[in-house]
Amino acid sequence: MTYSKILPTRTTLRCTLILAPLLAGLTACGGDARSLSDQPYDALEHLSFGGAAEGAEVNPDAPLKISARAAGARITDVVATDAAGRRLDGELAADGRSWRSSALLTAGAKYTVRVSTENGDGEPGRGEHSFRTGSSEADRVDVTFGPEPGTYGVAQPITAELSEEVTGARERALVEAALQVSSEPEVKGAWHWVDDKELHYRPRDYWPSDTRISVSSQLEGLAIADGLRGGGADPVELRTGERVEAVADIQAHTMTVYQDGEAVRTVPITTGKEGFRTRNGKKVVLGREPNVRMTGTSIGIPAGSAESYDLDVQWATRLTWSGEYVHGAPWSAASHGSANVSHGCTGMSTENAQWFFDLIKPGDIVEHVNGEGEDMAPFGNGFGDWNLSWEEWLEGSALHQQQGDDHAQPTAGRLRPSV
């Protein structure tokens, strides 16, 4: 935000208003009279912009300097904004004769500068000036948004991968504010820093069905830190389909599937046995594979051991990068609905697995409850984002930490399956 010290206007009483029946509204000031409706004078010819000529390209790594050239003239206010509407911080000299930016200009941007002045007689002046900034030699922070354009379930988080690390609280807040998410209908959401190079965005609650989501960046050219500026990012357009959720009760050995809040089918299942317990918690569907070869060696089980396996699995819906799936498991049919015998996956009949496969999509939610396994991690093994409360989610927002209130706005290695 621009900081400008407003200097008091000097007012000199030059005349006495004469109210006469035939001369109402006239002044007895002779040629020095000024109507209260007079417009401010054009101050541009009385100002110097330190080499930033009108329409010129200037160095974004150097400060913007504005000074008053006319004798007795003073600057009273400066508002400098780039094309994205971001104001440039600056400081006004105590005598009002100059103003200097205290933050770096955005590279490759058009700036508009509005300057208010007053002359030696206390008359107000206004001037508007524009220029463009050139490129910078600073390192660039490019952004890759995910997922790819398409239709997803209502639990799908948005991801932003940065090409460079951003660590400081102020710097993170700058980056976060420049990553824009809008939706129709509008929902309340926020970014969460997973680590120094990755952010996730989610709403307070699941996205509504049939929501259109636009993701873009205003980071290009923005000064983040010394030697570090914002880079490019391709925008992403997404939408959500109907709300599909599955709740797998590990103790009851059943999974109930809901469409838009209505239970449509409950199927018998088996989940992870002792030593291979299925994780508790909410897991966002990562993808679907009609056929997957699953081997024990891929999750660290020695070949030839009692737990070793090598299976061709059908209708597999992936839940974690470490290898949890919902899939057909005809070899364990006798245990469906009665015992947990898998190596971590959720198994069911081939028929039910195909029905679930055809219904589900990336971004839908599968929640495992009443289990003895560890909790699903929020990050690092798929999308466990919804296992954080909204309050916990906001703790990972640099903007929330900076502002101290609810600022929320509307808006990987090789895959290793287990069975």
| Residues annotated catalytic, as ranges | 327, 345
**What is the C-alpha to C-alpha distance for residues 285 and 382, in angstroms, rounded to an integer?**
8
> What Cα–Cα distance (Å) separates residue 25 from each residue in 22, 38, 172, 283, 324?
9, 15, 59, 77, 86
The one-letter amino acid code at 78 reads: V
Q: Read off the tokens for 127.
A: 């001037």
- The answer to whether 82 and 132 are in contact (CB under 8 A) is no
DSSP secondary structure string, 103-164? SPPPTT-EEEEEEEEE-TT--EEEEEEEEEE----SEEEEEEEES-SEEE-TTPPEEEEESS
Query: Hey, how many other C-beta atoms are within 10 angstroms of the C-beta on 275?
Result: 8
**What is the C-alpha to C-alpha distance for residues 309 and 229, in angstroms, rounded to an integer?**
51
Separation of first and last alpha carbons in the chain: 56
Strands 47-48 and 65-68, how do they pair?
A: antiparallel
The one-letter amino acid code at 304 reads: G
**What is the C-alpha to C-alpha distance for residues 310 and 254, in angstroms, rounded to an integer?**
26
Task: Give the bridge partners for 145, in sequence order.
Answer: 160
Residue located via tokens 């057909």 = 328
CA-based nearest residue to 129, from 202, 192, 197, 45: 45
Task: Give the bridge partners for 129, in sequence order.
Answer: 113
Query: Hey, how many other C-beta atoms are within 10 angstroms of the C-beta on 357?
Result: 19
DSSP secondary structure string, 223-264? EEETTEEEEEE--EEEEE-S-EEEEEETTTTEEEEEETTEEE
**What is the C-alpha to C-alpha distance for residues 204 and 391, in angstroms, rounded to an integer?**
9
**Cβ contacts of 306 within 8 Å, gap of 6 or more:** none
